[in-house]
Amino acid sequence: MTRVNPVLSRLSIVVLVVASFSLAVACGGGASPEQVAAGQKVFLTTCATCHGKDAKGLPKLGKNLHSNEFVQSKSDDELVAFVQHGRPVDDPLNTTHVAMPPKGGNPALTDDDIKHVVAFVRTLQ
């Protein structure tokens, strides 16, 4: 009979837990289902104008947000700040040549609204 090394078993469990947690956070797992749903609602009423209801982008307007390298390269706080400030037409990284207005053009959005949108967009990654 083969004996399982208890240290390796514990190490394997720790690695699995850490990997699962990291994946969950990267995919919006740090947010509750209610926060993600709230973000989707805000997305559909504000962001979908340019990014489309399916978040796959609209020609010459908003980018596809599915598996988006920009989204994946930023922290949640960085994405919140990005949405709060928008992206002007003359920004060298603006490849659509269309301004993304601060708060997606909806000045009524709160910081929590934007955080929820980020949580929703994370689920698209």
Structural domain that includes position 41? 31-122
Integer Cα distance of 20 and 80 in angstroms: 24
Same domain, 114 and 92: yes
Looking at residue 77, what is its pLDDT? 98
Positive/negative CA dihedral, 53, 74, 33, 20:
positive
pLDDT in tens, 6-53: 655 554 444 433 333 344 444 445 899 999 999 999 999 999 999 999
Looking at residue 115, what is its pLDDT? 98
* pTM, entire model: 0.77
Same domain, 96 and 70: yes
CATH number of the domain within which 104 lies:
1.10.760.10
Helices (H), 61-110: 69-73, 76-85
- Both tokens of 84, joined, read 């709060």
Integer Cα distance of 44 and 84 in angstroms: 17
Same domain, 80 and 118: yes
Confidence bin at 5 (pLDDT 50/70/90): low
Residue 61 CA: distances (Å) to CA of 6, 115, 123: 56, 22, 22
The whole-chain average pLDDT of the chain stands at 86
Same domain, 25 and 75: no
pLDDT in tens, 112-121: 999 999 999 9
Same domain, 84 and 63: yes
Same domain, 43 and 96: yes
Same domain, 22 and 67: no
Same domain, 98 and 50: yes
* Total count of domains within the chain: 2
Instruction: State mean pLDDT over 82-97.
Output: 96
Integer Cα distance of 96 and 71 in angstroms: 16
